[in-house]
Homo-oligomer: A and B are copies of this chain.
């Protein structure tokens, strides 16, 4: 059998455009014949390193207003439910991200990821408190309490930190981001198609 190319999908649970990407990437990747590697990470430390202690959508109000409007429009265009705006925004994503890192290579990573994003951006729920994350796990038929506890281990916290350092060292500065096997970085939900094209070996019209 031919080897399918792989695309790494880096996402942050508090990120609005990560939500749009999460809801459409599986169908797009399947159609392109590309395998996905789901890479949860925390954007907070990367933002902090460049001097932001908040979302740029809060720091720059005009940008934030248009982002929410754009998110409404894009969700409608993608036939997603109306957007619910997390309150507060951004949500603290530490507990959910610890769990997602703990779920690396587990078959429940993708259903868990989608459930967290849907809770935050379609169902108007909180994802910030550990109990909220445990409840999402319980609804998936998993043992939320036990998983939360395991995800808070020092070993798992170390893996989370390592993922953040890897993101930064590979040039990631926002979410969602897509990384091909040859290290090409694409930033933003709007670049999903281009990233899949690149992963398939379809480079733009001339050698870059």
Chain A residues near B (Cβ < 8 Å) = 50, 60, 62-63, 65-66, 69-70, 72-77, 79, 82, 168, 171-174, 184-187, 190-191, 194, 203-206, 208
Q: Which residues of B contact A75 (CB under 8 A)?
A: 204
Q: Are B187 and A66 in contact (CB under 8 A)?
A: yes
Closest B residue by C-beta to A64 = B173
Q: Which residues of B contact A70 (CB under 8 A)?
A: 186-187, 191
Measured in the bound complex, the distance between the Cα atoms of B191 and A69 in whole Å is 13
Q: Which residues of B contact A79 (CB under 8 A)?
A: 205
Query: Given A60-B50, A77-B194, A194-B73 in contact, is the A171-B204 Cβ separation under 8 Å?
Result: no
Q: Are B62 and A204 in contact (CB under 8 A)?
A: no
Taking the nearest CB of chain B, how far is it from the CB of A176, in angstroms? 13
With A73-B204, A76-B204, A77-B194 given, can you name 14 additional A-B contacts, CB distance below 8 Å? A50-B62, A62-B172, A63-B173, A63-B174, A66-B171, A66-B173, A66-B187, A69-B185, A70-B191, A72-B208, A76-B205, A76-B208, A79-B205, A82-B206
Closest B residue by C-beta to A206 = B76
Measured in the bound complex, the distance between the Cα atoms of B62 and A185 in whole Å is 11
Taking the nearest CB of chain B, how far is it from the CB of A91, in angstroms? 23
Measured in the bound complex, the distance between the Cα atoms of B66 and A172 in whole Å is 9
Measured in the bound complex, the distance between the Cα atoms of B197 and A76 in whole Å is 13
Taking the nearest CB of chain B, how far is it from the CB of A41, in angstroms? 14
Q: Are B187 and A190 in contact (CB under 8 A)?
A: no
Closest B residue by C-beta to A189 = B190
Taking the nearest CB of chain B, how far is it from the CB of A48, in angstroms? 13
Q: Which of B60, B186, B208 contacts A173 (CB 8 A)?
A: B60
